Copies of this chain bind each other. A is one copy, B any other.
Amino acid sequence: MFIEVFDDEAHQIQDVKWLAQGTIYPDVIESVSATGGPSATIKSHHNVGGLPDFMKLKIVEPLKALFKDEVRRVGASMDMDKQLLGRHPFPGPGLAIRILGDITAEKVRILQEVDAVFINGLKDAGLYDKVWQAGAILLPVNSVGVMGDERTYEKCVALRAVESTDGMTADWVNLPYEFLQKTSNDIINKVKGVNRVVYDISSKPPATIEWE
């Protein structure tokens, strides 16, 4: 479906010849079978096998052989903006893959607000650049809470923050207690529809950075 939609869009641009993709080496490794055979791959959403013949675009992937830290070194040698270079990796399909279960406009709204509280909180606390990647996952799970004298039954979000140099392996970050406490309270108090926050304490392997 990705290929079909992409091809339709590409045909609307005049005289286009090339498709540039930001593929890096870990994408290549994790999208191909380790044995060369039909065994399971880790990532299922990457289009690193090239494009089908019917597409008129040729593909160019200048970063395909580099790990992320090497990509950043290339960028630094080209005097690129530090904020661009230091930006956390973000999933190609967007926040949608961080909504487990069915995706609705309301769930996207909730996750956007949670993500903003978390990421801006990291920046305000001077922690953003100490973390390889951070994000929030909306779980398809309701749990009981209490607001005033009322019982609530609302959604749970998981926060994820990992340290890594190449994305191939990653450790969850020991964020300060006060930061997690404040962030959890801010999310529950400010984002309507959320009454519980958990922090992912799994490393990669055996877990992955993104949940899907």
Contact = CB atoms under 8 A, between A and B. Distances in A.
Contacts of A151: 40-42, 44
A39 B146 contact: no
Contacts of A205: 145-147
Given A177-B174, A184-B203, A196-B211, A141 B144 contact: no
Contact of A207 (B196, B201, B206): B196
A93 to B, nearest CB: 14
Copies in the complex: 2
**Taking chain A's interface residues, is the majority helix, strand, or loop, or is none over half, making it mixed?**
mixed
A147 B205 CA distance: 7
Interface string A124-153: 000000000000000111011111011110
- Chain A's interface size range is 35 or more
A202 interface: yes
A34 interface: yes
26 contacts: A39-B149, A40-B150, A41-B151, A100-B143, A139-B141, A141-B211, A143-B208, A143-B212, A144-B208, A144-B210, A144-B212, A145-B202, A145-B207, A146-B204, A146-B206, A146-B207, A172-B181, A181-B203, A188-B202, A195-B207, A196-B202, A196-B211, A198-B198, A198-B199, A198-B200, A198-B202
